[in-house]
Amino acid sequence: MKELLIKNVLDTWNSNIQRTDALFNSLTNEQLENEVAPGRNRGIYLLGHLTAVHDRMLPLLGLGQQLYSHLDETFITKPDKAVADMPSTEDLRDNWKEVNGKLAEQFAALQPDDFFKKHTSVSEEDFAKEPHRNRLNIIISRSNHLSYHLGQLTFLKK
């Protein structure tokens, strides 16, 4: 049963990654400079934000160090347009692919029981009381987060 649950979660994660990849690949750099709706985030900001969030999953899941921790301030700590000097769209596209490739590689190396181990931001004591605070739950929540922003990004498609 564990294997089936993990497969369902990873299938959803991978589907969301593939759909988002396809959308990013279909959008020009100019389209990514647009706001998804008036007064909302720009596509380039969401590309950087999703990359930074996924990058932070590596240490959160105990799977390695962040690859691009310098993106945190621009795309997690600060809102869109608060930082004037942003990385290039091409760099962000490359970072997105590398981070998600690294996550896919790490997920494939995990054994079923590994998905039910605690993530690094929960203490042993809290995890004993709340075993749902595990790695698989992080993947579920980040998949939902990705799906939410994918919905916003579709408004850039013209």
Q: Is residue 21 part of a domain?
A: no
| 137 lies in some domain | yes
pLDDT single digits (tens) 91-113: 999 999 999 999 999 999 999 99
Contact of 55 with 67, CB cutoff 8 Å: yes
Identify whether 37 is part of a domain.
yes
pTM higher than 0.85 for the full model? Answer: yes
Domain count, the chain: 1
Residues present in the chain in total: 158
In a domain, 144, yes or no: yes
- Please report whether residue 134 resides in a domain: yes
Average pLDDT over all residues of the chain: 97
| Predicted local distance difference test score (pLDDT) of residue 119 | 98
Provide the domain limits for residue 126.
2-9+30-156
CATH code at 128? Answer: 1.20.120.450
For residue 158, pLDDT beyond 90: no
Percent of the chain with pLDDT over 90: 99
What local confidence, expressed as pLDDT, does residue 99 receive?
98
Give per-residue pLDDT as tens, 121-156.
Answer: 999 999 999 999 999 999 999 999 999 999 999 999
Q: How confident is the model at residue 30 (pLDDT cuts 50, 70, 90)?
A: very high
Q: pLDDT, tens digit, for every residue of 36-65?
A: 999 999 999 999 999 999 999 999 999 999
**Residue 62 covered by a domain:** yes
Rounded Cα–Cα distance for residues 68 and 99 (Å): 9
